[in-house]
Structure 1
Amino acid sequence: MTREERRLRLSIDDQIENRYHEVPFEIPAGRAPRALEVTLAYAKDAAVIDLGCRDPKRWRGWSGGARSRFVITPDAATPGYEPGELVPGRWAVVLGLHGMPADAVDVTVTITTGVDAGGVEDEPPAQPPPSGSGSGPGRTRLGRGLPAPEGLTWYAGDLHAHTTHSDGTLSIAQLTAAAAGRGLDFLAVTDHNTVSHHAHLPGVGAAYDTCLLPGQEVTTHAGHANAFGDIGWVDFRRPAAQWLSDVEERGGILSVNHPIQDDCGWVYPVRTGFLELWHISWFLDLTATGPWAYLRGFDGSGAGGAESASAGRPVLLGGSDFHTPDQGFPPGTPTTWVAAEDRSPEAILDAVRHGRTAISRFPGPGEPALVRVGVDLVAVDADGTVLVEGVPSGGTDRRRHVRGDRVTFAAPPEGGPYRLEAADRTLLAISA
């Protein structure tokens, strides 16, 4: 066993020079060690430092600020990190200098190789849900029979959620059980700057009869974006334009996340063809117009991928950004509906790619929904609401009173987006 202790003094000057500070170390050629353990220690009231790792050939994982220790072995790894051979060569602990003081802070990185693998906190294997839980194969779904174009079905899901593979508090199985219990058909697992969760998704999804979409939230100080698809890791340290290029070349979808949220809004000049317009933060005030103001300024420059976007508008998505039940907002808050051929990951992402999406506050029956069927819009369970056409523009929007539980309106695609509001202008649903 070998143990190295690296003592550093880091400040805002180091952050200015390079936000991703590398602490290199060597694994010598010869007999590979059984395990690698890394710990990080610093005064957390003085700085915010993220933790990650690369080997000589590839990225091995990221835990952001959620962990101060990880273990990698050939067969298992701490969630957020990928197991595999501890190849010889020049490795590096990667420190993300997210929040740094003007005066230097003491940082200690301890690197141990050859340690016993018993300390690995690995992702637990998928287990069938308890009998009668309503979460397994054959469970009753909330399928609402929403009207759909011929050959398609509207499926309910959530396109933004986190597990213990980044800063969530639930395992993949626990998160999936929560989503299935809400009647969701699909869920995108989008842990931060890692794809360590991807290998577990098929097994857990099958156990809970829920389509799990591989995703990753490409996360930086200047904005976040979800990369959907089994496309490999996206290097968050590169320019955002490179993310878009890489994702599209690999056949994935890149969506801008929560563009106006607090200190992680989207400030890059890059625009994609997909936008998480309805984020959980909007639930703080569903009469707020900030997201609409952002959408009005969306000119489509640099946009790619959205075949259905008209006049430079992006495909609109929703996401709960679920991290923990303590938030009080379960998966599917809001719910993204997609009109797809089936419930496979490929079909769900194809529906998103072609803009066949709608968003509602919640998935359940009785919740107002607004879906497109050809050139028509159908408002379901929306009696007494108001159908509003277009982005708010100083009171000039076309508004129509919805009378009835299922009402059809002629709605050419170029007139959107459309939305349902309550009489007090509370947002209820969105459609293209």
Structure 2
Amino acid sequence: MELEPVRFGPDDVTRTVSGTIPYGAPDWVYLPVEIPDGVNRITVVYRYDRPTPPPGHDGNALDLGVFDAHAGFRGWSGGARDGFTISASDATPGYLPGPVHAGRWHVLLGPYGIVPDGLPWTVTVTLERGPDGPTFVPNPAPHEAAGRGRAWYRGDMHLHTVHSDGRREPAELAADARAAGLDYIVSTEHNTPSAHAVWGAYAGPDLLIINGTEVTTRNGHYAVLGLPAGTWIDWRYRATDGAVSAFVNAAHKVGALAVANHPLASCKGCGWKFGYEGLDAIEVWNGPWTPDDEATLGNWDNQLVSGERWLPAVGNSDVHGTDQIVGLPQNVVLADRLDRDSIVAGVRAGHLWIAESAAVDLDFTASAAGLATAAGLASADSADSAADGRSAGIGERLDVAEDTAITVMLTVRGVPGGVVRIVTDQGRRLVTPVPATGVVSWTTTPRASRYVRAEVRRGDTMVALTNPIFLGRR
């Protein structure tokens, strides 16, 4: 849906236009703005009516973004801001600094909800003329940090700052990540890569910052993890459009992953409706443990049982407000190094478990008879242990005959009073308090258990959750 263009005379500075988006309008309404030569800064401010909706209807809600006449996408703030400014030197967070090229720009209005009487809106565009100021110089984060060689690294892969609808400045988020004991984070602003250009100031040898985005459609959200700095992924489609696979494939071509975020979240447009074909992981734990997470975990486990293509489980904080806790939960990923490609590879392989905090640690292995030890296997070595074909770690397969006796061993630290659950394709097979030693062992065979995974809980609250170890030959 495209509206009549906004045009400026040679001496015009500000133009204000109004209209009403009718009930049942498309998801995206485009307001063309003709930018004349000589403009070095554009400011857009919008407002809209928000009457009390009648029963059974959503209230008015209107998202905001912009595309320019030259480069295309120039920014997005959804409903988090009432306007933006763009120039060669700077831009409102969520928007991309750069020259204000002459030509037809499009202010993007996204009606997220419309009452039956329609959504009245007003947009004011202000232009400034003159030479460009100093060119903005991006400062993206490096692709690697110091690390500890091949090891388990902790990170949060779903986070928001003021570059979308979060409340933290990037500096605050980086400080909170360090305080949480994280080795890496992934920047996942809604529908914009603007934060990619600033993370270099806050990364360091002790904190890897990976570029990503949360692609926020009207039929669900997915995180793209491991993007080259500045990469934009389009979000303007629904599940019925058949478009998502093209954008997931584009992410894969640059080495990134696509993760379905909070698939059963109840907020409008948050639940995942696209199916899981082509995706790389599922976020089964989002923020403090809730019934939504419990249901998502059950659905994910059902996919393991059904024999569908296995997608690793991940968990993230999805912080927005400053009262939310960075690293609750966090992903503990086995990686060769603390760099972008190694973390992405560890997530893709499912060499990952999820923890409530850095105070929680565990080892989880499966070994054929005679190889298990009372202390378990060292975490960093557990995935390597599969080389002899007689033991396996998280995300791996123990490739042995159907009736081979297998010892599953879980060592838990930092969860006094917790309860361990050992889960297989046959359901919960062991529920036991965490012993004083922290070591729980259980025996099975591939015939009895096609996979095995572990949970550690405090009452009904999840504290730690592993991806599966698969048992038996393919």
Q: Distance in 1 between matches of 2:425 and 2:450?
A: 15
Indicate the SS of the match to 1:351.
helix
Label 1:388 to 1:6 Cα distance change in 2 as closer, same or farther (>3 A).
same
Tell me the TM-score normalised to structure 1 length: 0.80
For residue 23 of structure 1, what is the aligned residue in structure 2? 31
For residue 176 of structure 2, what is the aligned residue in structure 1? 178
Q: Give the drift of 1:25.
A: 1.1
Contact 1:318–1:334 (Cα < 8 Å) also in 2: yes
Unaligned runs of 5+ in 2: 1-11, 52-58, 238-242, 366-381, 384-391, 394-408, 468-474
Indicate the SS of the match to 1:12.
coil
Indicate the SS of the match to 1:292.
helix
For residue 47 of structure 2, what is the aligned residue in structure 1? 41
Q: Give the drift of 1:201.
A: 1.4
Label 1:94 to 1:289 Cα distance change in 2 as closer, same or farther (>3 A).
same
Indicate the SS of the match to 1:77.
coil
Indicate the SS of the match to 2:203.
helix
What percentage of aligned pairs have identical amino acids? Answer: 29
Tell me the TM-score normalised to structure 2 length: 0.74
For residue 362 of structure 2, what is the aligned residue in structure 1? 369
Is structure 2 residue 299 aligned with structure 1 residue 294? yes
For residue 356 of structure 1, what is the aligned residue in structure 2? 351
For residue 390 of structure 1, what is the aligned residue in structure 2? 423
For residue 224 of structure 1, what is the aligned residue in structure 2? 221
Indicate the SS of the match to 1:114.
strand
The equivalent position to 2:83 in structure 1, one of 69, 82, 86, is 69
Q: Give the drift of 1:253.
A: 0.5
Label 1:116 to 1:64 Cα distance change in 2 as closer, same or farther (>3 A).
farther
Q: Distance in 2 between matches of 1:95 and 1:77?
A: 19
Q: Give the drift of 1:75.
A: 1.5
Label 1:107 to 1:299 Cα distance change in 2 as closer, same or farther (>3 A).
farther
Is structure 2 residue 285 aligned with structure 1 residue 278? yes
Q: Give the drift of 1:313.
A: 2.1
- 1:9 aligned partner, one-letter code: T
Matches for 1:326-365 after TM superposition, within 5 Å: 326=323, 329-364=324-359
Q: Distance in 1 between matches of 2:137 and 2:264?
A: 33
Matches for 1:17-416 after TM superposition, within 5 Å: 18-28=26-36, 30-31=37-38, 33-45=39-51, 46-56=59-69, 57-114=71-128, 152-206=150-204, 209-231=206-228, 232-238=231-237, 239-263=243-267, 264-271=270-277, 272-280=279-287, 283-284=289-290, 289-298=294-303, 311-326=308-323, 329-364=324-359, 367=360, 369-371=362-364, 373-374=382-383, 375-376=392-393, 378-381=410-413, 382=415, 385-390=418-423, 396-399=427-430, 401=432, 402-407=434-439, 409=441, 414-416=450-452
Larger Rg: 2
Q: Distance in 2 between matches of 1:299 and 1:193?
A: 31
Indicate the SS of the match to 2:18.
strand
Indicate the SS of the match to 2:24.
helix
- 2:354 aligned partner, one-letter code: I
- 2:264 aligned partner, one-letter code: I
Q: Distance in 2 between matches of 1:117 and 1:388?
A: 66
Q: Distance in 2 between matches of 1:9 and 1:384?
A: 59
- 2:422 aligned partner, one-letter code: E
With 342-351 and 172-181 compared, the bigger mean Cα shift is at 342-351
Indicate the SS of the match to 1:164.
coil
The equivalent position to 1:10 in structure 2, one of 16, 21, 39, is 21
Contact 1:292–1:391 (Cα < 8 Å) also in 2: no
Q: Give the drift of 1:3.
A: 2.0
Q: Distance in 2 between matches of 1:426 and 1:392?
A: 22
Contact 2:425–2:451 (Cα < 8 Å) also in 1: no
Q: Distance in 2 between matches of 1:8 and 1:420?
A: 55
Q: Distance in 2 between matches of 1:230 and 1:398?
A: 40
Q: Give the drift of 1:284.
A: 3.8
Q: Distance in 1 between matches of 2:165 and 2:333?
A: 27
Contact 2:263–2:283 (Cα < 8 Å) also in 1: yes
Contact 1:298–1:313 (Cα < 8 Å) also in 2: yes
Contact 2:187–2:210 (Cα < 8 Å) also in 1: yes
Indicate the SS of the match to 2:176.
helix
Q: Distance in 1 between matches of 2:326 and 2:137?
A: 20
Contact 2:424–2:451 (Cα < 8 Å) also in 1: no
Indicate the SS of the match to 2:289.
helix
Indicate the SS of the match to 1:175.
helix
Contact 1:79–1:123 (Cα < 8 Å) also in 2: no
Q: Distance in 2 between matches of 1:54 and 1:85?
A: 13
Contact 1:360–1:369 (Cα < 8 Å) also in 2: no
How many pairs does the alignment contain?
Answer: 386
For residue 429 of structure 1, what is the aligned residue in structure 2? 464
Please identify runs of 4+ aligned residues in structure 1 that moved more than 6 A.
115-118, 122-126, 410-413
Q: Distance in 1 between matches of 2:23 and 2:166?
A: 28
Q: Give the drift of 1:385.
A: 4.2
- 1:19 aligned partner, one-letter code: D
Label 1:183 to 1:205 Cα distance change in 2 as closer, same or farther (>3 A).
same
Q: Distance in 1 between matches of 2:138 and 2:251?
A: 29
Q: Give the drift of 1:316.
A: 1.0
Contact 2:23–2:119 (Cα < 8 Å) also in 1: no
- 1:6 aligned partner, one-letter code: V
Unaligned runs of 5+ in 1: 127-136, 144-150, 302-309
Q: Give the drift of 1:44.
A: 3.5
Label 1:41 to 1:245 Cα distance change in 2 as closer, same or farther (>3 A).
same
Indicate the SS of the match to 1:176.
helix
Listed one character per residue, the Cα deviations across residues 256-285 of structure 1 (whole Å, up to 9, x for unaligned) are 0001111211122344121111111x5245
Q: Distance in 2 between matches of 1:115 and 1:205?
A: 36
Contact 2:139–2:199 (Cα < 8 Å) also in 1: no
Label 1:296 to 1:181 Cα distance change in 2 as closer, same or farther (>3 A).
closer
Q: Distance in 2 between matches of 1:69 and 1:243?
A: 28
Label 1:19 to 1:299 Cα distance change in 2 as closer, same or farther (>3 A).
farther
Contact 2:227–2:251 (Cα < 8 Å) also in 1: no
